[in-house]
Structure 1
Amino acid sequence: MTLNEAETGHISVPRKDRSFPLPALPDLQLEQATRRILIVLASAFSVLRLWVVFAVPFTDSTEARYAEMARKMVETGNWLIPQFDYGVPFWGKPPLHTWLSAAGMQVFGTTEAAARLPILLTALAILFLIWAWVRDTVGTNTALVATVVLATMAMFFGASAFVMTDIPMTLGTTLVMIGFWRAAIDSDSHWGYAVFLGLAIGMLAKGPVAVVLCAIPVTLWLMVTWNWGVLRRLPWTGGMALLMVLNVPWYLAAEIATPGFLHYFLIGEHVQRFLTPGWQGDLYGSGHQEAMGTIWLFWLMAALPWSLIPAVLLARPTRLAGAFRQDRSGWLVYLLLWSLSPLMLFTPASNILAAYVLPGLPAAAIVLVVLSSQVLGLRPNRASRIGFAVAGLAMLSSFLALTIGLVFAPQQMRLKSDKGLVAAAMTAHPDAPLYTVGGRSFSAEFYSHGRARAIDEADFARLAGNGAPTAFSVSPSMTTTAEALGLENMGEYGRHVLFVTQPVKEVK
């Protein structure tokens, strides 16, 4: 070690053409009691998450919609393009998340767990990437704490086995960001292709937005450090070839099979959706009108309970600035920019969802743990253990209470799922059609294996009077109308009431 290295606390890495020191950050010192708390929290959250995977039914509309598209993929054998309805292509998102859930159903059957388990495995892959990277960069203890913090963030925990697009895309962006640092900054050439593999995953999970979410922090970090030369360390020729091979065939095949896909997806979903308030061009629903800047509020909710830490850190601006100055590698700045990239991108957007903050949460978990140690001087004492345990248990208790309610009291929770209604309808009239009056119910379609069909009120009156065995799902406000048509009320199931055309014995 040279005198300069000893004075600065940074150790140069003896690799060719290296221009950045290693992050000189001390690993957390964890006592046995702290480790036990971490293990208990991780185990409890894991058991609870698995219980949700198997016990909570699909709810409308997001998860039930994506699960039903995966079920249709398996049923029809059309693995090229997800189907919004039979024969109606879904252009809203690429198919990676649908492929994952459909593969689970293909292997394990048409169940909630089969559709969710591949998404859960994807979330576990993200956690492993974060743990391995922080372990190699700072140390095992910091890696353990950062991984537990990420796993217990409200949005990550909730989305970790939720059938939707965001966890697969977050895997892609995480792979890009870690791969870039390891290849371009650590000069580990083996990770160069991970950048392009991650971009391919992101493009197949959600499209070009994944590329933008990675380009923002990388570009800003290169501008801050002014070390553009590290880009030469990426395998551009082979990497771009890999990216093209993994993406272009599907995008071209989708456009050839369903002309108009590229224009709708690239322009409508990636420009108009975010810049046009209340965008009316959505083929599969309606826009989400939010005030500009709402994405920051979404982040505060998504990162609970750990989103309370930034306020404490900002209350010590001198020590906070000192922590960034001491890290001559720029690793903390890199993490901060990565964690803020979804907020920077979606601040001017009005058509947004809370899940849009997910790609930045892995970096947020790391930077919050590292800065808490550096700025607040947290040590493995009784006070810090109690604080960590209280925060984790508060989050666990909230999710546990919610899960218990959804499983054992769905009626009181007004659960947006028609699983119970479908079961009752199939018991009452096993071979009769099931109609949902007033709009589609994706959960009814999933649990009836595609038998449930949406009708309007005019068709309701006509079909109710034809005398054939038929089941109807109607809103409670239509109960009087249904009874006037001579239908038998079989009971209320969550948000809908089941009626059948012929009197039958109670099935509840």
Structure 2
Amino acid sequence: MVAIDPKFDTAVRQEHAGRFGLTRSDQRFLLFALGALFALRLLALFWWPFTDSTEARYAEIARKMVETGDWVTPQFDYGVPFWGKPPLHTWLSALGMKFFGVGTFGARVFIFAASLGVLSLIFTWVRQHRGADQALVVTTVLTSSLMFFGASAFVMTDMVMVLGTTLSMIGFYNCLSDSPARSAWGRWFFVGIAIGLLAKGPVALVITMIALVPWLALTGRWRELHGFPWLSGLLIAAALTLPWYILAEIKTPGFLRYFLVGEHFQRFVVPGWQGDLYGSGHQQPKGLIWVYAGATFLPWSLFFLALLSRPGSCVNEVTGNDRGWHSYLALWVVAPLILFTPAANILPAYALPGLPAAAVLLVSLWAQVRGQPGWWGRRATAVAIGLVGAAFLTVTILARYQPESVTNRSERALVIAAQSYDLDVQITYWGGRSFSAEFYTRGRVKFTERTATFDIFADNGLRDAVAIPRAVASEIAPYLGPRFGPAGRFGHRILFVEDLDQGEAS
């Protein structure tokens, strides 16, 4: 391949930096939209309850970390190690609950901070290479995309990993650019790798390499790797990651084998993988990740369709004189999709690492191919942002004032109802485990599938409450005896509460 002169590449970027000029009214609208989306997401931190199973599970693991004081080994249950993921996201949620109290805000606030970190990195990077106007548009597009907005404060591994992959991709590009801080950016690349390794494991490194290796081959910039701070960078990455991995294996032998082989190989290549210690595999048709990617970037993925009316221009931008920029973004977008194409067990969130680049690529191609946004572009942008904001606002308000209409998978309302009878009530769930019930009872909940468990209720000295699925309530409720009466229906469960006075009278 013919190598691209970095100085020429910089000149091309500067030449196009002003082609996406915004009027003051456009800027005010986008700033207002960002402020409104920020306020809405902040409300959801408080109002949206934890739902089963993903977010509630990770929140409960973090709560156990705070309660037990064990900051090395996350616990799936008391005394049962959670080997499924590294602990960085758990540390963030646990620290939030340590500082702000055990609740939805504490568990989510530092995950939210990670998403703000991603937005700040993207804004600064695009402003440096494409100007402030494009940076503002990109930030708004990314913030209002379906998956990014929803995951921006979701207690899970993915957003923290995205912070790491975004930092690595920006650090690598800036290190190879004509920048006075090349060495510093190169070291930030390795910090991003460390964040990814502590957030989700080697998959973060693999996604990054899938994007970078083809880009180096395409642009012929292999020689510039000689100036990369390999020694100091690798030492930084090792110092940040190896201590925990070593301690985790020493403390709970078998962790590395399960995590590296099971979670990073068998989970993705074995359909319906049965080795999952903490749930079940998500068996999906192979290649579905590409469909997920389009859905997660809604409504902005629809704007890519408008660019298809000029396919030749788009191809020229990705492969022409400015290919160093657009090809970098395109490979960044598709890297996680390539990795998970042959995977049998996937989730929509697996496309999340490519969304920051998708936002930059869309806006940059639009600026190069279509120029400044005209009346249609401004109106369509306003409608898209308005629809996303209105949808999330409606759901957030319903979660606060009519939770039963949107949060059937959360046990918060049931726990509150049971505790209204007695704060020390002992709640027992018939059937499968509920992590949200564990979280909202601070771990003081039991799960059973044996009616013999009900026999000890009379002698335990506590007021008991039993949550039974509606489908089997008529069969199971008679085993509770006359002391229990229905206290309400919550989602797909009916709550039965013990009447202590009736028990004493009998």
The two structures share one fold, judged by TM-score above 0.5: yes
The answer on 1:289 being equivalent to 2:283 is yes
Match of residue 182 from structure 1: 174
Which of 487, 491, 494 aligns to 1:490? It is 487
Match of residue 312 from structure 2: 318
Give the counterpart letter for 1:251 in structure 2.
Y
Give the counterpart letter for 2:85 in structure 1.
K
Alignment partner of 2:366: what SS? helix
Residues 459, 438 of structure 1: alpha-carbon distance in 2 compared, 3 angstrom cutoff: farther
Which of 79, 87, 92 aligns to 2:71? It is 79
Checking the alignment, whether the CA contact within 8 Å between 2:317 and 2:323 is kept in structure 1 is: no
Checking the alignment, whether the CA contact within 8 Å between 2:17 and 2:129 is kept in structure 1 is: no
The answer on 1:308 being equivalent to 2:302 is yes
Checking the alignment, whether the CA contact within 8 Å between 1:287 and 1:351 is kept in structure 2 is: yes
Residues 488, 154 of structure 1: alpha-carbon distance in 2 compared, 3 angstrom cutoff: same
Which of 403, 413, 417 aligns to 1:410? It is 403
Which deviates more, 422-431 or 193-202?
422-431
The answer on 1:452 being equivalent to 2:449 is no
Checking the alignment, whether the CA contact within 8 Å between 2:51 and 2:407 is kept in structure 1 is: no
Alignment partner of 2:489: what SS? strand
Checking the alignment, whether the CA contact within 8 Å between 1:292 and 1:350 is kept in structure 2 is: yes
Match of residue 425 from structure 2: 432
Q: In 2, Cα distance between the equivalents of 1:213 and 1:25? A: 29
The answer on 1:109 being equivalent to 2:101 is yes
Which of 23, 26, 35 aligns to 2:17? It is 26
Checking the alignment, whether the CA contact within 8 Å between 1:38 and 1:148 is kept in structure 2 is: yes
Match of residue 368 from structure 1: 362
**What are the within-5 Å matches in structure 2 for residues 469-488 of structure 1?**
469-485=463-479, 486=481, 487-488=484-485
- Ranges in structure 2 where 5+ consecutive residues have no aligned partner: none
Alignment partner of 1:349: what SS? coil
Give the counterpart letter for 1:444 in structure 2.
A
Alignment partner of 1:176: what SS? helix
Match of residue 98 from structure 1: 90
Give the counterpart letter for 1:94 in structure 2.
P
Checking the alignment, whether the CA contact within 8 Å between 1:53 and 1:117 is kept in structure 2 is: yes
Alignment partner of 1:185: what SS? coil
Q: In 2, Cα distance between the equivalents of 1:26 and 1:244? A: 38
Which of 130, 140, 151 aligns to 1:138? It is 130
1:318, CA displacement in angstroms?
1.4
Match of residue 7 from structure 1: none
Which deviates more, 122-131 or 454-463?
454-463
Checking the alignment, whether the CA contact within 8 Å between 2:267 and 2:273 is kept in structure 1 is: yes
1:370, CA displacement in angstroms?
0.8
Q: In 2, Cα distance between the equivalents of 1:338 and 1:12? A: 19
The answer on 1:241 being equivalent to 2:232 is no
Which deviates more, 467-476 or 414-423?
467-476
1:440, CA displacement in angstroms?
1.1
The answer on 1:499 being equivalent to 2:490 is no
TM-score (norm 1): 0.93
Which deviates more, 359-368 or 306-315?
306-315
Match of residue 322 from structure 2: 328
Residues 12, 194 of structure 1: alpha-carbon distance in 2 compared, 3 angstrom cutoff: closer
Match of residue 414 from structure 2: 421
Q: In 2, Cα distance between the equivalents of 1:34 and 1:390? A: 14
Q: In 2, Cα distance between the equivalents of 1:329 and 1:20? A: 12
Give the counterpart letter for 1:496 in structure 2.
R
Q: In 2, Cα distance between the equivalents of 1:441 and 1:484? A: 23
Q: In 2, Cα distance between the equivalents of 1:394 and 1:240? A: 45
Checking the alignment, whether the CA contact within 8 Å between 2:146 and 2:297 is kept in structure 1 is: yes
Checking the alignment, whether the CA contact within 8 Å between 1:425 and 1:471 is kept in structure 2 is: yes
| Equivalences, count | 491
TM-score (norm 2): 0.93
Give the counterpart letter for 1:488 in structure 2.
G
1:406, CA displacement in angstroms?
2.0
Checking the alignment, whether the CA contact within 8 Å between 1:464 and 1:501 is kept in structure 2 is: no
Checking the alignment, whether the CA contact within 8 Å between 1:22 and 1:137 is kept in structure 2 is: no
Q: In 2, Cα distance between the equivalents of 1:91 and 1:183? A: 35
- Ranges in structure 1 where 5+ consecutive residues have no aligned partner: 1-9
Checking the alignment, whether the CA contact within 8 Å between 2:319 and 2:327 is kept in structure 1 is: no
Give the counterpart letter for 1:136 in structure 2.
Q
Q: In 1, Cα distance between the equivalents of 2:9 and 2:325? A: 13
Among all aligned residue pairs of Structure 1 and Structure 2, give the percentage whose two residues are the same amino acid: 47
Q: In 1, Cα distance between the equivalents of 2:160 and 2:166? A: 10
Which deviates more, 493-502 or 41-50?
493-502
Q: In 2, Cα distance between the equivalents of 1:22 and 1:373? A: 13
Q: In 2, Cα distance between the equivalents of 1:194 and 1:504? A: 65
Which deviations, in whole Å up to 9, do the C-alpha atoms of 1:78-124 show, x marking residues without a partner? Answer: 00111001000000000000000000111111010011110111100
Which deviates more, 477-486 or 231-240?
477-486
Q: In 1, Cα distance between the equivalents of 2:125 and 2:501? A: 62
Checking the alignment, whether the CA contact within 8 Å between 1:488 and 1:503 is kept in structure 2 is: no
Match of residue 113 from structure 2: 121
Checking the alignment, whether the CA contact within 8 Å between 2:6 and 2:178 is kept in structure 1 is: no
Which deviates more, 413-422 or 201-210?
413-422
Checking the alignment, whether the CA contact within 8 Å between 1:11 and 1:22 is kept in structure 2 is: no
Residues 490, 19 of structure 1: alpha-carbon distance in 2 compared, 3 angstrom cutoff: closer
Residues 460, 500 of structure 1: alpha-carbon distance in 2 compared, 3 angstrom cutoff: farther
Give the counterpart letter for 2:205 in structure 1.
V
Give the counterpart letter for 1:148 in structure 2.
T
Q: In 2, Cα distance between the equivalents of 1:470 and 1:342? A: 48
Q: In 1, Cα distance between the equivalents of 2:335 and 2:319? A: 21
Give the counterpart letter for 2:291 in structure 1.
L
Alignment partner of 2:276: what SS? coil
Alignment partner of 1:411: what SS? helix
Which of 174, 192, 196 aligns to 2:186? It is 192
Match of residue 33 from structure 2: 41
1:253, CA displacement in angstroms?
0.4
Match of residue 385 from structure 2: 392
Which deviations, in whole Å up to 9, do the C-alpha atoms of 1:383-433 show, x marking residues without a partner? Answer: 321111011111111212222222222222252111111112222233232
1:12, CA displacement in angstroms?
6.6
Match of residue 4 from structure 1: none
Match of residue 258 from structure 2: 264
1:503, CA displacement in angstroms?
6.3
Match of residue 59 from structure 1: 51
Residues 31, 489 of structure 1: alpha-carbon distance in 2 compared, 3 angstrom cutoff: same
